A and B are shown apart, each in its own frame.
Chain A
């Protein structure tokens, strides 16, 4: 038995291109991803690095599938040392579907082992990241809902 996939659906008033850009341009994510930046060419097979504000590596991955601005799939491996790192890589998939000036963004995070601490961690993180992404795109401002993340 392994833990179930994590699925979060959010609707954002934007074009698919705007969502794709915010997720992949390297710097926009500081506004909605707890200050983190990302580095990748986002082509299939390319490496991916997500960096914390202090420059440390938060997680790494490899792009498995890239079809801008519709689909992005990559592996997600939390940096070590620690129990999250020891679980090995899991998989993240973004599906971006437009509908009447609104985009439906579905994030599916999969590949968890049983009693996964990674799944517990990302379940608290994704709603914050995606809520911040929606605010950033619709209002130009993200926000910090992470300061009390331990309560969430």
Chain B
């Protein structure tokens, strides 16, 4: 991959890569770290990728573009709102010895308005923090209300 991500978010987690991958791809557990939303990751390339809210809404749809457990997942990320260009999101998990490094790369396939960039930063930072807390303490991080992009 020689292209450069538009945004990078990362955290270090005291757990092996396999555990990080297992949590990231387990649909049933995803509401515990994804603000109550379900994240459905297919098992193979070209499978659908889907985010579902508790009330049944589907704010993000996409496709699995690459999947290589427990190291890499690349999906197309199509926010179902007017004015938001298609993104690609890549999750990378690296073994750093005492910790795993979990990185999210955001690739913008078009100009993303500033308000969505801020939501993205708050959202991914909170997701990474929630995954870390859940893996290291076994407890969910309390829900925080994020301001939706206006």
Contact = CB atoms under 8 A, between A and B. Distances in A.
A77 B133 CA distance: 33
Contact of A10 (B99, B129, B145): B129
Given A10-B125, A134-B132, A147-B97, A101 B142 contact: yes
A139 B130 CA distance: 14
Contacts of B144: 11, 99-100, 102, 104
Contacts of A101: 142
**Interface band, chain B:** 20 to 34
Contacts of B121: 7, 9
Interface string B83-103: 000000000001011110100
A144 B132 CA distance: 15
Nearest to A8: B125
User: Which label, helix, strand, loop or mixed, suits the secondary structure of the A interface?
Assistant: mixed
Nearest to B100: A145
**Interface band, chain A:** 20 to 34
A87 B24 CA distance: 41
A134 B12 CA distance: 10
B102 to A, nearest CB: 9
Interface stretch (A44-52, A68-76, A114-122, A125-133): A125-133
Nearest to B136: A139
A120 to B, nearest CB: 14
Contacts of B14: 135, 139, 141, 143
Contact of B125 (A11, A141, A152): A11
Contacts of B96: 145, 147-148, 151-152
A143 B14 CA distance: 7
Given A9-B121, A134-B132, A135-B14, A144 B97 contact: yes
Interface string A1-39: 000000111111100000000000000000000000000
B129 A12 contact: yes
Interface of A: 7-13, 99-102, 104, 127-128, 131-132, 134-135, 138-139, 141, 143-145, 147-148, 151-152
11 contacts: A11-B126, A13-B137, A13-B142, A99-B145, A127-B12, A131-B13, A134-B133, A143-B14, A144-B97, A144-B98, A151-B94
Q: Which 4 A-B pairs have the closest CB atoms?
A: A131-B12, A11-B129, A9-B125, A145-B12
Given A139-B136, A147-B96, 4 more contacts: A9-B121, A10-B129, A13-B142, A148-B96
